[in-house]
Amino acid sequence: MKLRRQIGIALVLLSVTCTGHANDENQLLEVIREQTAAIADDLISWRRDIHQHPELGDQEQRTAALVAEHLRGLGLEVRTEVGRTGVVGILRGPTAGPTVALRADMDALPVKELNELPFASRATGDYFGEQVPLMHACGHDAHTAMLMAAASVLSSVRDQLAGTVMFIFQPAEEGSSLVQPGSGESWGALRMLQEGLFDELKPDAVFAMHVMPGEPGRISWRSGATTASSDTLRITVTGKQGHGGMPWDTVDPIVTSGLILTGLQTVVSRRAMLTESPAVVTIGSIHGGTGPNVIPERVIMAGTIRTYADAVRQQVRESIELSVRSVAASTGAAAEVSIVPGYPTTVNDAALVELMTPVVEQAADGKVGRASLIGASEDFAWFAKEVPGFYLFLGVTPPGQDPATAAPNHNPRFFVHEPALEVGARAMASLAASYLIRHDAVER
């Protein structure tokens, strides 16, 4: 079956180059380019409005209302409150055909913006009972605006679409601000799927794009594993409390924690199958003790685990538990290890990437490249586990600035060079339109 599909892709790539399919596709892509340019000012206006009014995961009421109103104005079928605050728009062409999905995330972060912009965020929001400053520090405002633009463009060529386009505006990619990890409740992409997103209309492929530091308008991607899986690690070390001047009457959980930290370094360097997948184990917080002369009873550590292959992910989990408990036992302490699964690895479908690469190259005017593995995780992975997925990156560093010196995503000075968003919107619309043509040819 795999060989048959590869042969089919090769044939369709030949057909769109040498037959009438190429003419039809190229003409459609040229119209998409023109239509995207025509609404570039609207695209920037939408992005600035959303940027100025950020909302945390599962609280994107204003953003969702803005998106739903826009999609209804285009004549799309619209569903709201999918996965709490998600919005889904359906655009049906005049003839039957495959279904393709485009996805954007809508949520912001609990970050105080430091950019001096007329549309900078001054908003605050409720983050688990605490009022915190908010900012679109990861660029989801840009993602939402680009997908709104792609919906406008594809609606303008609706009569030329042989199939259906699904626009997924997803909440809580950064995590929910209402649901604690480990509570058993889901959020974001997984919750949308659990509520039946793909039950009535399951796409044949799904695409998404993420802005990040890079040459403006340059699109990059990789085949296979693209972003990391994420697990949240919590270690509780329990000893025996006592006087700091008489440690022999205690079991010191602070010293034990230091030994545990050292032992965790060997989980990756000596136990992980690094030829199969990179792995990262990071401890980001340590809390224990109340005074300089008191050895506490308990130390709590928290961190994250990142991998790119299921086998390595499982091996690292098991190695952490073995190392932590063994080290603690060697000092007379006890240790509890909790590993809460997060997002899976985002895997770009190799056949889909091969099929659609020429379309991306055309949309980006040849400014393309191969992306490095990303240490961040991304819940687009849940969609890509259901159907073939293709996740791309768009450079948004201003011209003349070295991307290596630009503020990264999640930084209070993260900055988006807005003209690059036209390239992203054009690419998203082009991917959807071309996929309907190319998928149809492969299936035949």
Indicate which residues carry an active-site annotation.
343, 418
Q: Which of 199, 209, 146, 203 is nearest to 173 (CA)?
A: 209
Q: What angle do CA 366, 379, 125 make, to 5 degrees?
A: 105
Token couple for 278 = 């990179």
Q: What angle do CA 268, 407, 124 make, to 5 degrees?
A: 100
Amino acid at 11: L
Q: Strand 95-105 vs strand 162-170: parallel, antiparallel, or unpaired?
A: parallel
Alpha helices in 252-309 (DSSP H): 253-266
Using DSSP's 3-state secondary structure scheme, residue 277 falls into coil
Q: Which helix (H) or strand (E) holds 401?
A: none
Q: 171 to each of 130, 242, 429, how far by Cα in Å?
A: 20, 48, 21
CA torsion sign for 147, 148, 151, 156 is negative
Token couple for 146 = 């680009």
- From CA 44, how far away is CA 46, in angstroms rounded? 5
Token couple for 313 = 């992910």
Using DSSP's 3-state secondary structure scheme, residue 186 falls into coil
- From CA 307, how far away is CA 316, in angstroms rounded? 9
- From CA 399, how far away is CA 268, in angstroms rounded? 38
Residue 173 contacts residue 144 (beta carbons within 8 Å): no
